[in-house]
Amino acid sequence: MSAARKRVAVVGVGTMGSQAAWRLAARGAEVVGYDRYAPGHDRSAAGGETRIFRSAHFEDSRYVPLLKHADALWGRLQHETGRELRRLTGCLLMGPTGHQQMATVLESIAEHDLDHEVLDDETLAKRFPQYRIEDGDAAVLDRRAGFIRPELTIQTAARRAEQLGAVIHRYSTVREIVPVAGGVEIRTDSGSERFDTAVVTPGPWVNDLLPDLPWEVEVRRIISAWYVPIAPDAWFGEERPAFIRTAPTHCYGLPSPDGISVKLGLSRALHRLADDPNRLDRTVRPDELEVFSELIGRYLPDLHPDPTRLSVYMEGYTESSRPLVGPLPGAENVILLAGFSGHGFKLSPAFGDIAADLALDGASPQPIDFLSTVGRTEA
């Protein structure tokens, strides 16, 4: 069946679903999206004004080809819509020289010839005095990096999909996805509708929607905290890169686009489980701020120790930290994308394109064999 005649449901029009809707509609599919809220809402993983885009990858250098594909699609979406969704300001990656994550950063840079700069201690202190490093640390500036505007991106991708013919049902919760002969049925409170294929991008609601999923997706409660610099010139001068400290003290941050504060975030292990995505506890306890205070005192002494803003989101993690991508076993017309484990937003245009490949062609030319692909044992 040609893409022009294929009816595809997109369940969840958020980070991945909005991009999938755009790429499917761009290829001529008849796209119908469903979202329990509306594209760009702050109830799941997308919120907080900024996300990091980077080319160098400390998790696995095999992500770099996907990042390059995403990079091109970020440019295409911006060109098609006239919106600045991403700004390349660089990203500093810092951490112990002997740790595997810093070794992977350097491996990905060398293997894929990425635009970068290795900074010695003296250069780092002169150009970026707001950071404190420890003996044995390395610092690498990824030049093809910067920040993404998540809420604007999701709304823009969804709107572009609609301009290309997609229909999006806002505030329409999908209750059940039922494989049927030759297709799939989507059931909501308003009734049911039949499609040839469904792309399912449920974010933190994956376990609610697919309770029999044979892979665990652990939903965690993510805290973002904003701090005001004592000396803002260091943070908001000519160079204002995002930054990441690799394991074992993994944290990250971004100077806010408004030039007032710096957003900080923590690693997976430092976030509590979210027992029910429909009843997210958005209250941040004082003891939850202690780890932020410790990191500021140790690595970011120029930040005022008390936050000016706190926000809580959700994120789904797999055991391997690799996302689940592909058709469900026994339901080849249901394409699942879930469990992006804290590093999906920068890749979202690429995964949206991959979802379109799988929904329309049954396979993708993109290198995804190393992922936790649905239907295959994790490597």
For position 372, what pLDDT does the model report? 61
What whole-number distance in Å separates Cα of residue 174 and Cα of residue 334? 14
Q: Are residues 161 and 307 in the same domain?
A: no
Query: 280, 301, 317 — which closes off a domain?
Result: 317
**Shared domain check, 166 and 223:** no
Contact 177, 189 (CB under 8 A): no
User: In the prediction, which pLDDT does 98 show?
Assistant: 86
CATH for 360 = 3.50.50.60
Instruction: Pull the structure tokens for residue 34.
Output: 């469903």
Closest C-alpha to 270, from 254, 297, 251: 251
Q: Is 203 in the same domain as 159? A: yes
Which tops the pLDDT comparison, 271 or 36? 36
Average pLDDT on 306-333 reads 94
The whole-number average pLDDT for the span 91-116 is 93
45/203 Cα distance (integer angstroms)? 7
Q: pLDDT tens across 107-166, in order?
A: 999 999 999 999 999 999 999 999 999 999 999 999 999 999 999 999 999 999 999 999
Nearest to 315 by CA among 268, 366, 378: 268
Give the bridge partners for 281, in sequence order.
none
- Asked whether residue 289 falls in the same domain as residue 330, the answer is no
- Does 205 share its domain with 112? no
Cα–Cα distance for residue pair 192/207, rounded to 1 Å = 21
Cα dist from 86 to 151, 241, 325, whole Å: 12, 13, 25
pLDDT recorded at residue 379 = 42
Checking if the pLDDT of 65 tops 70, the result is yes
Residue 4 has pLDDT above 70, yes or no: no
Q: What pLDDT sits at residue 1? A: 43
Range of the domain at 225: 91-144+218-317
End of a domain among 277, 296, 317? 317
Q: What pLDDT, on the 0 to 100 scale, is given for residue 45?
A: 87
Least-confidence region, from 41-50, 78-87, 366-375: 366-375
Does 200 have pLDDT greater than 90? yes
Cβ contact 341:323 at 8 Å: yes
- The rounded percent of the chain whose pLDDT value lies above 90 is 86
Does residue 297 or residue 1 have the better pLDDT? Answer: 297
207 in the same domain as 171:
yes
For 235-249, 308-322, 364-378, which range has the lowest pLDDT when averaged over its residues? Answer: 364-378
Strands 30-34 and 7-11: parallel
Q: What is the mean pLDDT of residues 76-103?
A: 96
In this prediction, residue 375 carries a pLDDT of 45
Q: Is residue 61 part of a domain?
A: no
* Average pLDDT for 274-303: 95
Number of H helices, E strands in the chain: 9, 21
Write the DSSP assignment of 17-53 as a string of letters.
HHHHHHHHHHTT-EEEEE-SS-TT-SSSS--SS-EEE
pLDDT bin (cut points 50, 70, 90) of residue 373 is low
How far, in whole angstroms, is CA 266 from its chain's centroid?
14
pLDDT at 60: 87
User: 379: how many CB neighbours lie within 10 A of its CB?
Assistant: 10
Q: At residue 377, does pLDDT exceed 50?
A: no
Element (H, E) at 254: strand 251-255
Helix, strand and coil in the chain, % to nearest 5: 30, 30, 40
Domain end point (choices 317, 334, 359): 317
* Confidence tier at 59 by pLDDT (50, 70, 90): confident
Question: 223 and 298 in one domain?
Answer: yes
Return the CATH number at 300.
3.30.9.10
Same domain, 309 and 355: no
* 139 shares its domain with 165: no
Q: Tell me the mean pLDDT in the region 289-303.
A: 96
Whether residue 230 is found in the same domain as residue 288: yes
| Residue 300 maps to a domain | yes
Is residue 366 assigned to a domain?
yes
User: Distance between alpha carbon 238 and the CA centroid of its chain, in Å?
Assistant: 27
Helix (H) or strand (E) holding 168: strand 167-169
**Per-chain mean pLDDT for the chain:** 94
Asked if residue 200 and residue 189 are part of one domain, the reply reads yes
Domain count, the chain: 2
Predicted pLDDT at 58: 87
Statement: residue 3 has pLDDT above 60: no
Q: What is the mean pLDDT of residues 220-241?
A: 94
**Is there a single domain that holds both residue 14 and residue 140?**
no
Query: What confidence score (pLDDT) does residue 228 get?
Result: 98
Cβ neighbors of 219 (< 8 A, separation 6 or more) are: 204, 206, 207, 273, 274, 277, 314, 315, 316, 317
Helix intervals (H) in the chain = 15-26, 64-81, 100-112, 121-127, 150-163, 206-209, 232-235, 290-299, 348-361
